[in-house]
């Protein structure tokens, strides 16, 4: 790498220099043609013996000045011709300055072509495009510097690592403290909700324990649960039944509803194992959640279904060879009939319908 860097150092190709060399090579290599063409252009524009653009425009200006004496409407055309004549003069002057700077310099042309040849040769050697050679040179210099001053770089990296670790630990400890405070509050609020949901003997604890450092901090956060008296607290995911998980989830969602970021929540028979007043409380909590997010709940409890903003009926249609599931939205009258069926079974009486209608009206009044 040092040998390669020495070669590039010797060339010392600057950023953007290759394009400048290409342009200079084109100019020096075609200097004869450039001089001839520019001299012809100057002669045709201004310095010719006769019939130059300047002469012709001067004659036209003279004619238009005479014609304008008879019709002032030609003033605009006259001004345009005069402007063109002035531009021709400016163009001729610019070409004269260009010719003054343009020299036939075979020695400089040889130098430029030699430098271009070296650049293209090194580009092929390093397997980069010629225009990338300067950037490659800088990158190689950085790599060589890192290797030659390895101890210094290692020390700097170790220092940066220690600073990052200290910063991480400081932020992680703040996070742990905030989590433990929040865990105490959340545990107390969940206990209140679980009692309202008919799980009076249930206990749930939010545990924040020290763990190894990671992207989410130093903590292992776990919900531990016991559904019955005398049973120890164990990880919620391992000991809770489906219905218990649903009700715990419902309790947590209700508590967190104000900061809810999930757009949709689905509860599958969250009311399993409850009935009567507890089922009505579950329905109220679900409706409260529905004010903050979209809530879908599968239920067999009329007390829960009556409090939904909308109601779909799900049932199977079976034929000899196929089974299909049909889902249809229910209008208010159909909702009353479905609630009556959920309350009374196969035979629906007038009193059952009246009870269902009253339940629906009461459920829709819940704020």
Identify the residue whose tokens are 């959920």.
342
Alpha-carbon distance of 270 to 299, in angstroms, equals: 7
DSSP lists the bridge partners of residue 314 as 327
Alpha-carbon distance of 101 to 106, in angstroms, equals: 15
Q: Among positive and negative, which fits the CA dihedral 124, 126, 129, 130?
A: negative
Rg (CA), the chain: 45
For residue range 178-232, what is the model confidence (pLDDT) as tens digits? Answer: 999 999 999 998 888 888 787 888 899 999 998 889 999 999 999 999 988 888 9
pLDDT at 345 over 70: no
Res 273: pLDDT: 66
C-beta of residue 144 within 8 angstroms of C-beta of residue 5: yes
Res 335: pLDDT: 92
Of all residues in the chain, the percent with pLDDT exceeding 70 is 96
Identify the residue whose tokens are 């003054």.
100
Name the pTM for this structure.
0.46
For residue range 78-130, what is the model confidence (pLDDT) as tens digits? Answer: 899 999 989 988 998 888 888 877 776 777 778 777 888 888 888 888 888 88
Least confident of 111-115, 135-139, 317-321: 111-115
Residue 184 CA: distances (Å) to CA of 81, 196, 223, 233, 249: 90, 19, 12, 16, 17
Res 258: pLDDT: 64
Give 112: exposed, middle or buried? Use CB within 10 Å, 0-12, 13-18, 19+.
buried
C-beta of residue 186 within 8 angstroms of C-beta of residue 256: no
For residue range 49-72, what is the model confidence (pLDDT) as tens digits? Answer: 767 888 888 888 889 888 888 888
Tell me the domain boundaries of the chain. 2-148, 149-240, 264-367
């Amino acid at each position: 790498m040092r040998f390669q860097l020495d070669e590039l150092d010797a060339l010392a190709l600057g950023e953007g220099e290759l394009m400048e060399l290409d342009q200079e090579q084109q100019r020096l290599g075609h200097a004869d043609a450039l001089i001839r063409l520019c001299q012809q252009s100057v002669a045709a524009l201004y310095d010719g013996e006769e019939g130059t653009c300047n002469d012709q425009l001067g004659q036209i200006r003279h004619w238009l000045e005479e014609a304008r004496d008879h019709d002032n409407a030609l003033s605009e055309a006259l001004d345009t011709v005069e402007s063109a004549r002035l531009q021709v003069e400016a163009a001729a002057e610019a070409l004269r300055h260009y010719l003054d700077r343009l020299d036939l310099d075979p020695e400089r042309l040889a130098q430029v072509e030699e430098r271009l040849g070296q650049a293209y040769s090194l580009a092929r050697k390093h397997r980069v495009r010629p225009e990338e050679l300067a950037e490659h040179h800088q990158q190689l210099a950085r790599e060589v510097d890192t290797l030659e001053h390895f101890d210094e770089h290692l020390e700097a990296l170790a220092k940066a690592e220690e600073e990052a670790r200290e910063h991480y630990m400081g932020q992680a400890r703040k996070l742990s403290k905030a989590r433990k405070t929040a865990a105490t509050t959340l545990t107390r609020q969940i206990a209140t909700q679980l009692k309202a949901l008919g799980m009076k003997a249930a206990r749930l604890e939010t545990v924040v324990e020290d763990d190894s450092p990671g992207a989410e901090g130093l903590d292992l956060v776990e919900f531990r649960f016991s559904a019955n008296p005398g049973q120890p607290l164990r990880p919620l995911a391992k000991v809770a039944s489906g219905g218990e998980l649903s009700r715990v989830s419902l309790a947590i969602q209700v508590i967190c509803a104000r900061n809810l970021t999930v757009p949709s929540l689905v509860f599958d028979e969250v009311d399993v194992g409850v009935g009567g007043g507890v089922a009505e409380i579950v329905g109220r909590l679900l409706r409260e959640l529905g004010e903050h997010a979209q809530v879908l709940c599968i239920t067999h409890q009329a007390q829960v279904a009556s409090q939904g903003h909308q109601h779909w009926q799900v049932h199977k249609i079976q034929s000899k060879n196929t089974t299909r599931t049909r889902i249809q939205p229910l209008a208010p009258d159909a909702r009353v009939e479905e609630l009556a069926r959920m309350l009374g079974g196969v035979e629906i009486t007038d009193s059952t319908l009246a009870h269902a209608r009253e339940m629906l009206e009461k459920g829709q009044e819940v704020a």
